[in-house]
Amino acid sequence: MKLRRTSAVAIATVAALGLAACGSDGGDGAAAGGNKVKVGIKFDQPGLGLKTGATYSGFDVDVANFIAAELKLEVEFVEAVSAQRETLLKTGQVKYIVGTYSITDKRKADVSFAGPYFIAGQDLLVRADDTSITGKDTLNGKNLCSVKGSTSAQKIKDEVPGVNLQEYNTYSLCVDALKSGAVDALTTDDTILAGYAAQDANKGQLKVVGNTFSTENYGVGVKKDDTEFCNQVVTALKKFIDSGKWEESVKKWLGPANYTPGAGNPPTPTCQSA
């Protein structure tokens, strides 16, 4: 399996947010020549964080761009693979991460979070003709795919010991394995699964089971104990929510999959650290 290179291949300046360059409309723009920072996002999550050529699109991209615009930052997007997120922040390789990053006590020991800005739930993606998998209690003996370093993988390990868990580096590899029959299901947040199910290449082939079994609080990851910056991000997130841009972005990117945000949305973000 070929690993994806964690590197930026294009610079998306907030001045150009417009937001055609990034394929997003999540911010009001900021003056060029501001502070340049690297920001971690996902490159392979349709509807959330997707890189297509030099274009970035999705709800998380809108969030990342809005924060940058509010703080007058010039951003360069970097791929933040799940298993590498804490390292990217601890070593200063990125200023912040917006990439379906669930807030957990374990992670708060290493990084701080501004959030939650969205509340999701763990679910299952299966082939459209599969009627044998209806929830996590039907996974015994099944081949299940998830991503290394994700909370979804850890929950399955803890709660369904009879499942054959296969951990890949990206969700797109899991989707490929599911379509080919190499695995029986993919587990992660329902937002991510809905994005894949709605892709043109997957329509009619995959379906979300629709039986969530966790609560995932998405936060913006920042360097641990950088309280000043964390509070600045919280202020930006509150404005994103209160201005109506949160709702607009959710409808734009997740609405086509008939996805409706669950209870508690939109949430009230705070700065969180262990």
Residues 228/112, Cβ–Cβ less than 8 Å: no
CA torsion, ordered 97, 63, 155, 109, to nearest 10 deg: 40
Which residues make up the CATH 3.40.190.10 domain(s) of the chain?
A: 11-119+217-272, 122-208
CATH architecture of 122-208: 3-Layer(aba) Sandwich (3.40)
Task: State residue 14's pLDDT score.
Answer: 35
Q: Please, which residues have CB within 8 angstroms of residue 176's CB and are 6 or more apart in sequence? A: none
Which pLDDT tens digit goes with each residue over 27-52? 333 334 459 999 999 998 999 999 99
- Which of the 8 DSSP states describes residue 103? -
Q: Are 152 and 218 in contact (CB under 8 A)?
A: no
**168, HSE (Cβ side, Cα atoms, 13 Å):** 23
- CA 21 – CA 14 distance, rounded (Å): 9
Helices of type H across the chain = 59-70, 85-90, 105-108, 151-159, 171-180, 190-198, 227-242, 245-254
- The tens-digit pLDDT sequence of the chain (274 residues) is 433 333 333 333 333 333 333 444 433 333 344 599 999 999 989 999 999 999 999 999 999 999 999 999 999 999 999 889 999 999 999 999 999 999 999 999 999 999 999 999 999 999 999 999 999 999 999 999 998 888 788 888 888 889 999 999 888 899 999 999 999 999 999 999 988 988 889 988 999 998 898 899 999 999 999 999 999 999 999 999 999 999 999 999 988 777 889 889 999 999 999 9
Distances (CA, A) of 250 to 1, 40, 60, 87, 246: 33, 20, 10, 29, 6
**Each residue's pLDDT tens digit, 86-95:** 999 999 999 9
SS3 assignment, position 272:
strand
Site of tokens 């329902």: 190
Count the residues in the chain: 274
Q: Which CATH superfamily is domain 11-119+217-272 in?
A: Periplasmic binding protein-like II (3.40.190.10)
